[in-house]
A = this chain, B = another copy of it.
């Protein structure tokens, strides 16, 4: 039942699904349960409260939908918008592209603002659109916080500032799939109206829960939004929240117990420490890339992502070959370049329940593979750069002091 066996642990460095903590694997190692017994609602109640903490919201309403990030997108859009509504959406990589495709297929009038892949969302263009939209035809700004295909993080505080300075009422809908619980994300402070993530990303669970959190304004919008939705309709959830049974249809018992354990670990480490750890891992990865003499796909420091690094390879190398060799020879899983950057970049995911020595093992592997495919990297150079940085920044493990 396990094909392609290789000795030792698999080194999982794709930007999702990510490594699951052993404690969470244990928590999910169980039989099914009746989700209508008092036990599941009692646990659900704590989950809904605690999920809000990782979104940094006190006023939002969370929905734990049995779906993926793609479904979470759809839930965010169809509950708040009506067909024909104008959205401003930023095309900066494969995942924002797919989201835009979804928006178009859902019959929204998508005003696409495109950037070169490797650049962030063009917020100056947003500003001019907002400035000129005195009629408030723009109903929503749809933006990925972190574009997983290129490793670009957008500045959400700035988006909020633009909207506020023009007192524009557009909803701010954020794809936080590869950011929330890993990057600094502040739903309430930044006035985000809908934010989503997926269980298999920074929460370090299996795929299967699309987490959608809606601001009071988004909840209000959902009452009049005319987009067709049934499975993704918040209304059904809200009805069952009121009943105290919480689930309009069957949840995954396993993912609920897994989420409980995942949140417990995050709170034990401390959310700010989790974010700081991701910053360490991201910074160290970038230092390694620099030491290798390679380019980061992300063109400016302000957009650097702490959850995924897309590394540009020289034109004489096919980056897919790097990913293939990593899996075939080193039991290392790296991310492929997608679409426009296929063959041109490979991606190192440094996201989720991961520590520094794991990353250093990965970097050492990448160095060997780079040599394998003909790039003249100095072995140990990236590891040296990364560990020099780690050495000065890794704290003692609090529980072990």
Q: Hey, which bits of chain A sit against chain B, CB under 8 A?
A: 1-12, 14, 16-23, 25-39, 42-43, 66-71, 74, 102, 105-107, 198, 200, 206-208, 228, 230-233, 248-255, 257, 260-261, 264-265, 268-269, 274, 277, 327-333, 335-336, 353-362, 364-365, 367-368, 371-372, 378-381, 383-385, 387-388, 390-391, 394-397, 399-401
Contacts and interface: CB of A to CB of B under 8 A. Distances in A.
Contacts of A381: 380, 384
Contact of A360 (B35, B250, B361): B361
B360 A1 contact: no
A207 B252 contact: yes
Given A253-B207, A357-B364, A5 B399 contact: yes
Given A18-B32, A230-B106, A397 B1 contact: no
B1 A27 contact: yes
Contact of A384 (B25, B106, B379): B379
Contacts of A200: 32, 250, 252
B250 A198 contact: yes
A144 B332 CA distance: 36
Contacts of A380: 380-381, 383-385, 387
Contacts of A26: 26-27, 29-30
Query: Oligomeric state, in number of copies?
Result: 4
Given A17-B33, A333-B37, A397-B329, A379 B383 contact: yes
A74 B274 CA distance: 38
Contact of A364 (B29, B39, B69, B387): B387
A367 B387 contact: yes
A106 B268 CA distance: 44
A71 B198 contact: no
Nearest to A250: B207
Contacts of A372: 391
A1 B261 contact: yes
A383 B384 CA distance: 9
Contact of A32 (B17, B253, B255, B371): B17
Contact of A391 (B353, B368, B395): B368
B8 A354 contact: yes
Contacts of A391: 368, 371-372, 379
Given A70-B249, A207-B253, A380-B383, A357 B328 contact: no
B383 A364 contact: yes
Contacts of A30: 22, 25-26
